[in-house]
């Protein structure tokens, strides 16, 4: 098992980071929250989980060991593969998932693309005793009370967008951020900003 990769960020895409490790570029699938913490040309260390299939080897990357552990535990539920587990972590932090499961919050799981009402009910039952209790520690790149504009702008620049494009995308998602109140999630805003940029091209 590849427990982590550490090296220089060589490239960033909407769902992938390429980390140069010993002269080799390792493509690592990451959530928007994790990608928003990376910058091209700067050193990075990501906890990883290698998913082996008959026709592929896919490396998933995470901001920390806790996120990776939750990713692995989510896949112990029937019907949850690595893609869906990563989608759940793209929408919710590990602690938010623990709280949702502990409190039986069906709506929180339905908010994840690919999970319907019946699937959410099934997941709540299967994961109830597996994820553990919330730790209460804030996760990297999650809800912030201030500076979301700066974080989002920096993330878009890190993904290779021009300053003007980044500024326009930040302005485009501002209403969504304001609707979220005092704690907009930068990862969610990054996804929305990327969608507006893709439409503009």
Domain of 175, CATH number, reads 1.10.8
With respect to residue 123, please indicate whether it lies within any of the assigned structural domains: yes
Radius of gyration (C-alpha) of the chain in whole angstroms: 17
On average, the pLDDT of the chain sits at: 84
- Looking at the structure, tell me whether residues 81 and 29 fall in a common domain: no
Distance CA 114, CA 120 (A): 10
Q: Return all residues near 79 (Cβ < 8 A) that are at least 6 apart.
A: 119, 122
- Looking at the structure, tell me whether residues 56 and 81 fall in a common domain: no
Domain of 36, CATH number, reads 2.40.50.140
With respect to residue 184, please indicate whether it lies within any of the assigned structural domains: yes
For 84-103, what is each residue's pLDDT tens digit?
999 999 888 898 899 989 88
Asked if 16 contacts 34 with a C-beta cutoff of 8 angstroms, the reply is no
Give the model's pLDDT for residue 30.
94
Q: What is the dihedral of CA 12, 16, 22, 23, to 10 degrees?
A: -60
- Looking at the structure, tell me whether residues 57 and 71 fall in a common domain: no
- In this prediction, residues 5-14 reach a mean pLDDT of 94
With respect to residue 12, please indicate whether it lies within any of the assigned structural domains: yes
Q: Where are the alpha helices (DSSP H) in 19-162?
A: 32-35, 65-74, 82-91, 94-103, 106-110, 117-127, 148-158
Give the three-state DSSP class for 6. Answer: strand
With respect to residue 135, please indicate whether it lies within any of the assigned structural domains: no
Q: How many residues appear in the chain?
A: 201
For 99-108, what is each residue's pLDDT tens digit?
989 888 899 8
> Phi and psi (nearest 5°) for 118?
-65, -40
With respect to residue 136, please indicate whether it lies within any of the assigned structural domains: no
Q: Pick the range with the lowest mean pLDDT from 35-49, 118-132, 171-185.
A: 171-185
Domain of 87, CATH number, reads 1.10.150.20
Domain with 23, as residue range(s), is 4-62
- In this prediction, residues 4-29 reach a mean pLDDT of 94
> Phi and psi (nearest 5°) for 137?
-85, 135
Among 76, 92, 127, give the residue marking a domain's end: 127
With respect to residue 138, please indicate whether it lies within any of the assigned structural domains: no
With respect to residue 134, please indicate whether it lies within any of the assigned structural domains: no
Distance CA 130, CA 32 (A): 25
DSSP per position, 74-96: HTTSTT--HHHHHHHHHHS-HHH
- In this prediction, residues 121-125 reach a mean pLDDT of 91
Structural domains of the chain, count:
3
With respect to residue 175, please indicate whether it lies within any of the assigned structural domains: yes
Distance CA 45, CA 64 (A): 9
Q: pTM for the full model?
A: 0.67
């Amino acid at each position: 098992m590849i427990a982590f990769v550490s090296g220089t960020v060589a490239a960033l895409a909407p769902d992938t980071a390429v980390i140069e490790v010993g002269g080799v570029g390792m493509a690592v699938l990451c959530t928007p929250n994790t990608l928003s913490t990376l910058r091209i040309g700067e050193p990075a260390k990501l906890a990883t989980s290698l998913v082996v299939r008959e026709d592929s080897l896919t490396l998933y990357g995470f901001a920390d060991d806790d996120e990776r552990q939750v990713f692995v535990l989510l896949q112990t539920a029937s019907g949850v593969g690595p893609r869906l587990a990563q989608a759940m972590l793209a929408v919710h932090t590990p602690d938010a998932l623990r709280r949702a499961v502990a409190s039986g919050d069906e709506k929180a799981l339905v908010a994840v693309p690919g999970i319907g009402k019946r699937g959410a009910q099934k997941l709540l039952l299967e994961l109830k005793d597996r994820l553990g209790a919330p730790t209460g520690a804030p996760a990297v790149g999650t809800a912030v009370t201030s500076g979301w504009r700066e974080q989002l702008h920096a993330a878009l620049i890190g993904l290779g967008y021009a300053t003007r494009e980044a500024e326009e995308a930040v302005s485009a998602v501002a209403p969504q951020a304001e609707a979220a109140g005092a704690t907009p999630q930068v990862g969610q805003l990054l996804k929305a900003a990327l969608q507006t940029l893709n439409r503009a091209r």
